[in-house]
């Protein structure tokens, strides 16, 4: 797996190990750290390889499946790392596909709802081609993923690789970084620190929020199936940013208030997956309620912030 030390990747490593698999996790900690996988390092079926996927991939022995997750994923990260993001999506995906082709392994690209850009249809179905600004700041991510999708399909057609694409919609859960800039960790951090929760625009823009355990289940099922996709994975249930902020204030028991701030450029108004394909092809749909997921996430972020505070004071 590439990007296995990241937020989703570390949960996927745990799931594959729990199912009896051997896992080789390739990561260069560009947007993560050892702390996400430290608890796995002594596991007899876990191997870690510190490596940039753009430099080529080598794995000793047979490989059944290549999950390709390596890429900066949060807007804060990809706007800060534009060239690294384009390279991970292009050269990185190419190398991961070459590895799959050379090992006769299955391949799964974790693409994104951002492939749809600022969508003009709602909810988004897989046959919608999207509304992407190819030269805007977010294009480094959107277009890299769209190129990765095209490359994956080309390997499927011309190299006979059992390669698949999923488009992941907003996913949340434990091990998100408190500073990754996404709405949930930002709101939780602000609520725990008693600061105002900064909601962008008028707060009516919505996101659909899928809990990471459900997402990981979808990735495993997609890899095991025959279909090449793309298949949307996410929660069809939408939450407005204003509602989410209020919810987090309530669950953290915070006395913080909500503050409206300007919206970033190209920030999509709404995104909601149509998951009919995932339901029909994989029998998959998210099971965890947003509230349960938020509770787990708050516990994890709060312990991370406490650790950071004690290191800061130590
Ligand atoms: P993350 O930033 O936590 O994880 C990405 C991992 O990739 C990190 O461990 C990072 O160090 C690694 N990485 C980046 N560039 C690399 C390189 N060149 N070589 C080796 N490792 C590299 O992000 P995440 O949220 O876990 O996302 C995982 C994947 O899922 C990404 O491909 C992302 O685009 C996709 N995705 C995530 C979401 C979401 O809501 N989290 C939504 C859509 C798509």
Ligand 1 neighbour 8 (Cβ under 6 A): yes
Q: Assess contact for 156 and 162: CB atoms under 8 A.
A: yes
Q: Which of 78, 116, 141, 155 is catalytic?
A: 141
- Can you give the pTM of this predicted structure? 0.96
Q: Which of 10, 71, 297 to mutate to test the pocket of ligand 1 (most atoms within 8 A of CB)?
A: 71
| Of 230, 192, 187, 239, the residue nearest 211 (C-alpha) | 239
Q: What is the pLDDT of residues 95-111, one digit of tens each?
A: 999 999 999 999 999 99
pLDDT at 314 over 60: no
Task: Decide if the complex's ipTM is over 0.95.
Answer: yes
The pLDDT score that the predictor gives to residue 206 is 87
Q: 88 in ligand 1 pocket by Cβ < 6 Å?
A: yes
Which segments of the chain are extended strands (E)?
23-27, 46-50, 65-68, 106-112, 163-168, 171-172, 197-200, 206-208, 210-211, 231-233, 238-240, 258-261
The residue whose CB lies within 8 Å of the most ligand 1 atoms, and thus the one to mutate among 70, 169, 222, 304, is: 70
Residue 265 has pLDDT above 80, yes or no: no
Angle between helices 139-158 and 93-103 (to 10 degrees): 20
Quick one: pLDDT at residue 67?
98
User: How far apart are alpha carbons 201 and 103 in whole angstroms?
Assistant: 48
């Amino acid at each position: 797996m590439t990007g296995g030390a990241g937020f989703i990747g570390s949960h996927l490593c745990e799931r594959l190990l729990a199912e009896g698999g051997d896992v080789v996790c390739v990561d260069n900690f560009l947007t993560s750290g050892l702390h996400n996988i430290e608890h796995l390092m002594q596991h007899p079926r876990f191997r870690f390889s510190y490596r940039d996927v753009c430099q080529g991939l080598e794995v000793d022995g047979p490989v059944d499946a290549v999950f390709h997750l390596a890429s900066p994923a949060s807007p804060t990260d990809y706007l800060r790392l534009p060239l690294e993001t384009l390279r991970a999506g292009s050269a990185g995906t190419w190398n991961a596909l070459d590895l799959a082709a050379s090992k006769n392994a299955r391949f799964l690209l974790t693409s994104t709802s951002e492939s749809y850009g600022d969508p003009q249809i709602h909810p988004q179905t897989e046959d919608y081609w999207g509304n992407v600004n190819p030269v805007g700041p977010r294009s480094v991510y959107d277009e890299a993923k769209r190129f990765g999708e095209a490359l994956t399909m080309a390997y499927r057609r011309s190299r006979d690789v059992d390669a698949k694409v999923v488009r992941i919609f907003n996913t949340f859960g434990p091990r998100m970084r408190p500073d990754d800039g996404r709405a949930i960790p930002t709101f939780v951090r602000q609520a725990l620190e008693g600061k105002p929760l900064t909601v962008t625009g008028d707060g009516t823009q919505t996101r659909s929020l899928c809990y990471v355990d459900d997402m990981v289940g979808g990735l495993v099922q997609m890899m095991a199936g025959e279909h090449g996709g793309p298949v949307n994975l996410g929660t069809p249930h939408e939450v407005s940013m204003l509602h989410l902020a209020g919810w987090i204030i309530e669950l953290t028991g915070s006395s913080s208030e909500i503050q409206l701030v300007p919206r970033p450029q190209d920030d999509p108004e709404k995104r909601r997956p149509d998951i009919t394909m995932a339901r029909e092809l994989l029998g998959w749909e998210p099971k965890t309620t947003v509230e349960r997921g938020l509770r787990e996430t708050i516990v994890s972020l709060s312990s991370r912030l406490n650790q950071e505070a004690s290191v800061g004071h130590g």
